[in-house]
Amino acid sequence: MPVGTSPAALNLAEHLEPAHLELARDPVHVELPADVRDRIARCRGFVLEVSASGRAIYGVTTGFGPLVEFAGRPDSAGQCDNTIFHLIVGHGELLPPAVARAAVLARLFSLAQGRSGVSEQVVDSLTAMLDTEFAPAVPRLGSVGASGDLQPLAYVAHALRGNGNAFFQGRLMPAVEALALAGLKKLVLDGRDALALVNGISVTAAALGLAVAQAVRAHRTAELLSALMTDVLGCGTEFTSVGLLAAFGHPDVAESGASIRTWLEGSTPSGARPLQEPYSIRCTPQLIGAAGTSVRHAGEVVRRDLNGVSDNPLFFPETGEVVHGGNFFGQPSAFAADQLNVALVQLGNLAERQLDLLVDPCRSNGLPPMLSPLPGQHHALQGVQLCATATVAAMRRAATPASVQSLPTNLHNQDVVPFGTQAALTALDQARLLRYLHAGLAIGLRQAVHVGARRPQGPRLAAVFDRLAQEVPPITEDRPLDTALGRVADVLDSLVSEVEGAS
């Protein structure tokens, strides 16, 4: 975080939104209002009261999973160790620190609902962690998303206790060193605290929420780039007709058409294009609008997850109930993530096909092949298109739904599982890959004007073009474009975020 800036602020009494999760990549200050603290303390007192009565409570007096029929460790510290240690078996690449921190933020909001029975010091420790640059080191593989995200959340608790590894300021090191550098104390847990930390879908919700936040931008970026391509090539705009799209009957399609029309205000067709454009232009409202429906649905689902309670058991001090059930079963998120994944792949298909149209002289009104100023001597967008093709292929391979891959495990205690964690992390991967497909198309549009296409006529699109041209000089001779793709992806995110903020 830059010197002299203050952390972003959130409040546990308010709703957690997907966009809030992105704040967690940097230090974020989370307020714990008195009424929230009171409900946490009231639930905790009820748990201690019920435990003292000798009543059986899963994970407090019992073993875990199929071993529930056996008594747990008699000492609270031992029960905590058992909860966490047997789950430290994950593998694969580590989640990015920003994702791990977003998962902590999501878990904090769930625990703050006052139904999990955690001690106040757990909530205080999570808020303190988020106010620093500490991030637990969490392996990607290990969760089936059925009894919550057991393994990844166990690594969160493990690191906060000073075990295993963690990141500080983006550098991987032993967790005990990272805690010291962050000015944090080791987290001390009892059995109920430990189970409440690991027994929820907060990694799934965090990954899906981050994917949704980026997908919202990607959806708007697809509208923007489709409008820019329409203007640069001088295409007709009849495909955005209000009456045409209203007759289709899909509100999100009509909304995408309206967005493209707004971008195109002030632009007139050149008259040099065919009566009917290829589908990668003519059907953009229908494709992008349908993707918007999936993005919106995923957003609705993940908001419920982020503001609900995914734990077992739940405690209701007002009625004296301890309720054992399956709120940790992340099926809604799994379905939503898979649907979002498919929508993101189709947006990727669109961007790749639009780039292909642009670099093909037979379909671009005679622009030079690969948009090269000297074909043969320089290759301009040739490498960008190869990378786009490889990226789309990778996205398609990853589009197989995870939510239907149920495998029984855990002595058939978990005999049906949703694999929501894998679905959500894949959706996040896809959203990030799509950024680079959009960036490649944007560089192509910038280059097209340099080699003979018209400058955008619409004032808003002309302003966008100027931003892109400022970031990426024309390709007069071949040069590396990898870092330029990243910069343009950031510019596109900023452009559509500005539009969203103004609307």
Per-residue exposure over 333-359, b if at least 16 CB sit within 10 Å of its own CB, e if not: bbbbbbbbbbbbbbbbbbbbbbbbbbb
Cα separation, 456 vs 230, whole angstroms: 9
Cα separation, 249 vs 253, whole angstroms: 8
Map 116-139 to HEC letters: CCCCHHHHHHHHHHHCCCEEECCE
Structure tokens at 415: 């005999």
Answer for the pair 288, 347: CB distance below 8 angstroms, yes or no.
yes
Q: Is 175 helix (H, G, I), strand (E, B) or coil?
A: helix
DSSP classification of residue 360: -
CA distances from 300 to 35, 64, 313, 363, 502 (A): 27, 32, 25, 40, 22
Structure-derived torsion over alpha carbons of residues 331, 336, 339, 342, reported in degrees to the nearest 10 = -100
CA distances from 358 to 198, 203, 369, 397, 444 (A): 50, 40, 9, 25, 7
Structure tokens at 99: 């994702």
Q: Are strands 139-141 and 171-174 parallel, antiparallel or unpaired?
A: unpaired
Nearest C-alpha neighbor of 327 from the set 413, 211, 202: 202
Token pair 């018209």: residue: 454
Q: Active site residue: 58, 155, 279, 436, which one?
A: 58
At residue 163, φ and ψ (nearest 5 deg) are -110, 160
List, in order, residues 6 or more apart from 476 with CB less than 8 Å away: 373, 378
Q: Which helix (H) or strand (E) holds 484?
A: helix 482-502
Question: Is 279 in the active site?
Answer: no
Contacts 24+ apart (CB under 8 A), 185-188: 185/125, 186/160, 186/161, 186/162, 187/121, 187/122, 187/125, 187/157, 187/160, 187/161, 188/121, 188/161
Per-residue exposure over 146-167, b if at least 16 CB sit within 10 Å of its own CB, e if not: bbbbbbbbbbbbbbbbbbbbbb
Angle at 16 between CA 10 and CA 17, to 5 degrees: 110
Which residues are marked as active site?
58
